[in-house]
Amino acid sequence: MSPIPLVIIGGGPAGYTAAIYAARAGLHPVLYQGPNPGGQLTITGDVENYPGYRNGITGPAMMEDFQAQAERFGTIVKAGTITKVDFAAYPLELILDSGEKVVAKAVIIAAGASAKWLGLPGEKRLYGRGVSACAICDGFFFKGKTVVVVGGGDTAAEESLYLANLCQQVHLLVRKDHMRASKIMQERVLKNPTIQVWFQTEVKDIIGQETVEAIEVINPEATTRIPAAGLFVAIGHQPNTLPFLPYITVDHQGYIQTNPGTTQTNIPGVFAAGDIQDPHYRQAVTAAGTGCMAALDAERFLQQASRN
């Protein structure tokens, strides 16, 4: 089996940007879209903060543009999910969900991260219509309105503080009787007059058919409806790193670790881009930026390998 020069795993902003750069460099990349072609943007409504789309664009339409541009330069886009890898030897071996084996000289992992959800039926039905997992992405749409944030860690605190600058009222629901967030973040939340913290409180239901109208919550005292236009679930993300273990080094949260200033992982010839290696920003534009970096790093690796 002849090795493919470059395999890109993941069809989100990072993967497609890597494909655009790699294809233009003549690396003939093959991109596997994974279980959610287009990534999290395919379930996102309007995207107004990505440069170049001055009138905004829907998430699915933007990912169609990304794919078309990658294919224009010769990227081969394939359906399929990488479910297992063998990085113990070189070249690198990948196994698809169909059972097919693929061998590559270099690999860019851009499989993303998945938001953790509460498991309520209304989450999927109203996602993009009031339900969100990213305040920076969607907070603007709730300017002057009342929203609910769920979570007790630093992410929930950061989302609440960000939304407090835009919204009329922010209700922060914390499942336990205390927050897990750092002390300084807790102090900022508790001192902010726009944020009301509800301890020992969980979401029972999301009210609304076409859009979010209210959040039904339950705590030891009572069941209450909070009128709100939005629900932000901030209980964390899960990087999609399982297929790459135990070969790829990850941090305590499961995010792929890369060498500082690069996208190089602990395995020569394997690079990581996008949300799968980014626990902090999780934006389409930052994912695309690391996709560019990964393609350039892969190009240098392949050039050096060809000389040896």
What tokens does 266 get?
A: 């602990």
Beta-strand (E) ranges in the chain?
Answer: 4-9, 30-32, 46-47, 57-58, 76-78, 82-86, 92-96, 101-109, 113-115, 131-132, 146-150, 169-174, 195-199, 202-207, 214-218, 223-227, 230-233, 237-239, 270-272
Give 70-93 pLDDT, tens digit per residue. Answer: 999 999 999 999 999 999 999 999
Tens digit of each residue's pLDDT (9 = 90 or more) over 225-238: 999 999 999 998 89
Paired sense of beta strands 82-86 and 92-96, if any:
antiparallel
Residue type, 3: P
Tokens 């069809």, located at residue: 11
Residues 284/138, Cβ–Cβ less than 8 Å: no
User: Using CA atoms in the order 228, 230, 234, 235, what is the torsion angle rounded to 10 degrees?
Assistant: 70
Q: Quote the pLDDT of residue 36.
A: 81
Q: What amino acid positions are annotated as catalytic residues?
A: 134, 137-138
Q: What is the C-alpha to C-alpha distance for residues 111 and 194, in angstroms, rounded to an integer?
A: 37
pTM of the model: 0.82
Per residue in 6-46, pLDDT tens? 999 999 999 999 999 999 999 999 999 998 887 777 766 67
- As a whole number of angstroms, the distance between CA 66 and CA 287 comes to 13
Domains of the chain: residue spans and CATH: 4-115+237-307 (3.50.50.60), 121-233 (3.50.50.60)
What mean pLDDT value characterizes the chain? 94
pLDDT tens digits, 187-216: 999 999 999 999 999 999 999 999 999 999
Q: Strand, coil or helix: what is 35?
A: coil
How far is the C-alpha of 58 from the C-alpha of 45, rounded, in Å?
5
Q: Residue 59 has what pLDDT?
A: 86
